[in-house]
Amino acid sequence: MVGVEETASGILDALDRVVLEVEAMDAICNADTEENDDKDFVVSQQALGQAQTCLDEANASDAPSQIDIEAFVRTEACDGNTSNDGVRLRMSLPLGYPTIHSASVTVVHTPKFVTRSNHDTLSSKLQAIANELIGSEAMMSIISECRNIVSDWECNSSDNIDAIPSEAEEDDVVTSLPNNPACISRRWIWVHHIHEEFSGLKIQINPKYGAHSFQAS
C-alpha cells in the first residue's frame, strides 16, 4: 500500500520544501561570497532544475532521485584572528526528504588537527542528527552542529563528542551563537530572506536541534 507521502502529491510537497530550503541556505551560506568566489554552499543545479520543473508542471513522474549538496563549514581558530581550513560536508537529499527520508551526510574534509578516528565519528554523529530530524529541514542544524563540534575539539582539546552540548542544550540560545559579525549577519539574512521571499510560509522550530521547518500557510 502506498502511503500518503509517497503519492504524487506527497512527492511534490517534499520537493517544494527542498527547493525552499535550498534557496534559503544558499542565501545564508553564500551571503559574503562574491560572484567569482568559491561558494560555501553548492547544489547540483541539474537536479534542482529538474525538481523545479516538476513543481512548475505539477508532475512528480520526473522527480530527481536525489539532490546533492556540498557545504563548506567555516570554523574560526581559537585566537579569533585566523581561520583553519574548515570542514567540507556532502549532503544528499533523497526523493522524499524531508518528509519520509533523512539527508545522507558525509564528511569529506576536516582540519588537520582532527584525527582520522574523530573524522569518522563526526560523520556518524552528523548522520545520526539527520536521522533524528526526519520531518524537518535538517541542513542548517547539521552545519551548525558540525561547527560546534569541530570548534570544541580545537579550542577545548576535547575528544569526547558526546560531551559537546547541542545548541538546544545551551541554557541561553544567544550565548550558543559565535561572537562573530559574519555569523550574526548570516542569521539576520536568514530572517530577512524568509520574510521577504517566503512571506507565505510558517517557520516551525524543532526543539532539540533548532531545526527549521518551512510550511505553506
- pLDDT at res. 201: 44
What's the number of domains the chain is made of? Answer: 1
Range of the domain at 27: 4-216
pLDDT < 50 positions in the chain? 1-5, 163-205, 207, 210-211, 213-217
- pLDDT at res. 63: 95
Q: Nearest CA to 25 among 69, 87, 76, 88?
A: 69
- pLDDT at res. 174: 34
The CATH number that applies at residue 17 is: 3.10.110.10
State the Cα–Cα distance between residues 5 and 7, nearest whole angstrom. Answer: 6
- pLDDT at res. 76: 65
Q: What is the pLDDT of residues 154-178, one digit of tens each?
A: 877 655 555 444 444 443 333 333 4
Q: Which residues of 194-208 are buried (b: 16+ CB within 10 A; e: fewer)?
A: beeeeeebebeebee
Q: Cis omega before residue 98 (within 30°)?
A: yes
- pLDDT at res. 179: 43
- pLDDT at res. 107: 96
- Are residues 13 and 99 in contact, defined by beta-carbon separation less than 8 angstroms? yes
- pLDDT at res. 10: 93
- pLDDT at res. 161: 52
